[in-house]
Structure 1
Amino acid sequence: MPERVHIIGTGLIGTSLAIALTQHTVEVTLADASPTTAALAADLSGGEVADGLAADIVVVATPPDVTAAVVAAALARHPEATVTDVASVKGVVRAELAAAGAPGLGRYVGGHPMAGRERSGAISARGDLFEGRPWVVAAVADTEPDAVALVKGMAEAVGSVVTLLDPGEHDEAVAAVSHVPQIAASLVAARLADLPDTAVALAGQGVRDVTRIAASDPQLWTQILAGNAPAVARVLRAIATDLSGLITALEALGPEPTGAVVAPGARAALAGAIQAGNAGHARIPGKHGAAPTAYAKVVVLISDRPGQLGRLFQDVADAGINLEELVLEHSLGAQFGLLELSVLPGVEAELRTELTRKGWRLHA
């Protein structure tokens, strides 16, 4: 665990890290190209705007397209410090550093905290942003072990779960689990822009789930995607092949009523795509990163009034039942919502009985 951390770049990630570290009594210094932004981050975090020359770790939290240059400058300016970054691409940063002959490259430890929000900037920072989230440490053979240990200790101190990956492995992984999902969300959301209001008003939890991250910063994501272009393109090419097959199947079914067109194999292609999605979804880690678990769903109709959620949660707690997950979907044109409670299958019947006894209306 470092005693002194210098953070260069005081946006969402840099300021959130500053808040989390000061809560652990780490001495934090801050720097940013914008003096106003740096001063705001200091106010929010309790850190100090200073050069950080005595830092144990220098964290570069700048936009991805300038990360390598700032890391190189930090390695030269802080010859005794470990230098890490938070960029969401790792291979291109290390390649640029190596090509530039950056000094002290063994002290550079690539890092990627996989945490964020739809909102950006220091004002959106949160000290708990990293809790329970993965933090990739992307070291290579000639990275100094002490430097790796220091970055790992910092990440764990703010609540992250550290994963060690080669930079190339990291970039291939995030292309599939982060970068392509962003593109998919944006493409689906873009189809909503020209729909009539009556159609958009029908949007339910499905489209909200799929498009949740579509509100992300276009400038930042352009830099991220450009930095990981080959890996992202490979995943998108595979998806394009799957989409082409689905389009062919749908067009084969034609405009006739269901069942009027034989179209051999078309329905199997549609079912196969959904089934393949089931298989992939089943691999997503469950609660606290544990193996995926199948939960029972209990859906409660809840009125949109103050105190209703608190009362429901208290009734669940009084029954001695732990909630695993929950999703709230607001109903169209009505002042109530559908709250989906996920519980272990063994307690589903007991929860239904208790909530019904307490007067809650359950959805079939």
Structure 2
Amino acid sequence: MSERLPLSLSNCRILIVGLGLMGASLALALRGKCKALYGVDQNEDTRRLALMHEVVDAVWQDVTQTRSVDMMILAVPVGQILRLLGQLNVILQTPTVIMDIGSTKTAICQAMEGLAEHLDPIGGHPMCGKETLGIQSAEAAIYQGAPFALVPLTRTSPYAKSLAEQLVTAIGSRVVWLDAETHDRMVAAVSHLPYLVASALTLSTPLELTSLIGPGFRSSTRLAATPTSMMLDVLRTNRLFILEAIERVHVELAQLKSLLNQEAYEALNQRLNAAAEHLQKILQKG
């Protein structure tokens, strides 16, 4: 397989399956950086817009209709990624690097282990996006400066690793090499839990309070607008790590509630200052 795969991204033919926000934005970021750029999307309007705005060179409705490529990127929700991985051994007959950009990695990497020998898998996850999905919201800039996790399998070849790293660098993102379990534990805390916290805060806010809603509430709850079509599979495939993260927040909230209930304002002040200091450390390290 190594003799047939290109080492250079500029010589690579890439197929992106799913031209929603992430897939179309990735295509825009890759324009002019690879040999050919193709797309697959089941939505007719999405395919029309992709061609109208020259997001890709060609687009098809189904993976089975496409031509041979060097790299296939699965940019659909996690559940669809898992279903596609179960079909690729039959669909793809030539050596191909398979990369996904799903939000969880353990289940996906386990499914990738079942790919045929001529398929070369590597997991990926860019830490960027918007609450509004769809090709209409796509822009190359969302990848600029963003951390991009790459999660190789034991079987992943040096060629696939090199090609994935070239791609991440080309779109302006920052490579972070991780194993699947570490990735899922980390994103449970910094991505999946914030979505649930934003949802809980939104649901606990009575409608009669809306006249006083300002930027603080809006920024704290914006993730609640993320469509469940993307998030339910994420929550299902990363359930245990998310539950651990929820428990840590529960402990902190219980402590703050206890201090407030006791009117222990000096201790409360110390705890809140500790949170502000910890936030600065988190942001500086990131």
**TM-score, normalized by length of structure 2?**
0.86
Match in the other structure for 2:272? 274
Taking the aligned partners of 2:207 and 2:48, their CA distance within structure 1 comes to 43
Residue deviations 1:29-79 (CA, integer Å, cap 9, x gap) = 111233443333233314201544331110011111121221343354333
d(CA) in 2 for partners of 1:160, 1:121: 21
Q: 1:144 & 1:75 partners in 2: Cα distance? A: 18
Q: Within the alignment, does 1:169 sit opposite 2:182 as a pair?
A: yes
Separation of aligned partners in 1, 2:57 and 2:175:
25
Specify the alignment match of 1:189 in structure 2: 202
Q: Paired residue for 1:240, among 250, 266, 278?
A: 250
| 2:273 alignment partner AA | Q
CA 134–121 in structure 1, closer or farther in 2 if over 3 Å, else same: same
Unaligned runs of 5+ in 2: 1-8
Residue 344 (structure 1) aligns with: none
Residues 313-324 of structure 1 mapped to structure 2, 5 A cutoff: none
In the alignment, what sits opposite 1:224?
A: 234
Letter matched to residue 20 of structure 2:
G
DSSP 3-state at the match of 1:111: strand
Contact 2:75 2:102 in 1 (8 A): yes
Q: 2:39·2:56 contact (CA, 8 Å) conserved in 1?
A: no
For 2:235, the aligned partner's letter is L
Of residues 9-18 and 212-221 in structure 1, the stretch that sits farther from structure 2 once superposed is 212-221
Deviation of 1:207 after TM superposition, in Å, equals 1.9
Give the 3 Å change call, closer, same or farther, for CA 148–106 of structure 1 in structure 2.
farther
- Cα deviation, 1:188-234, whole Å, max 9, x if unaligned, reads 22233x242xx433333322321232221122112211121111110
Segments of structure 1 that go 5 or more residues without pairing to the other structure are: 254-265, 293-364
Cα root mean square deviation, aligned: 2.2
Matched-pair identity in %: 28
Q: Number of aligned pairs?
A: 271
Match of 2:49 in 1: 40
* Deviation readout 1:293-324 (Å, 9 max, x if unpaired): xxxxxxxxxxxxxxxxxxxxxxxxxxxxxxxx
Is 1:18 the equivalent of 2:27? yes
Moved more, 229-238 or 204-213: 204-213
Larger Rg: 1
Shift of 1:164: 0.6
Per the normalisation by structure 1, the TM-score is 0.69
* 1:90 alignment partner, one of 93, 99, 105: 105
Cα contact 1:30–1:42 (8 A) shared by 2: no
Structure 1 residues 225-252: Cα deviation after superposition (integer angstroms, max 9, x where no partner): 1121111110101111222222233333
Give runs of ≥4 in structure 1 deviating > 4 Å: none
| Closer/same/farther in 2, CA of residues 92 and 161 from structure 1, 3 Å limit | same
Contact 1:71 1:83 in 2 (8 A): no
Cα offset, 1:272, TM superposition = 4.1
- Higher RCO, 1 vs 2 (CA within 8 Å, ≥6 residues apart): 2
AA in 1 matched with 2:278: G
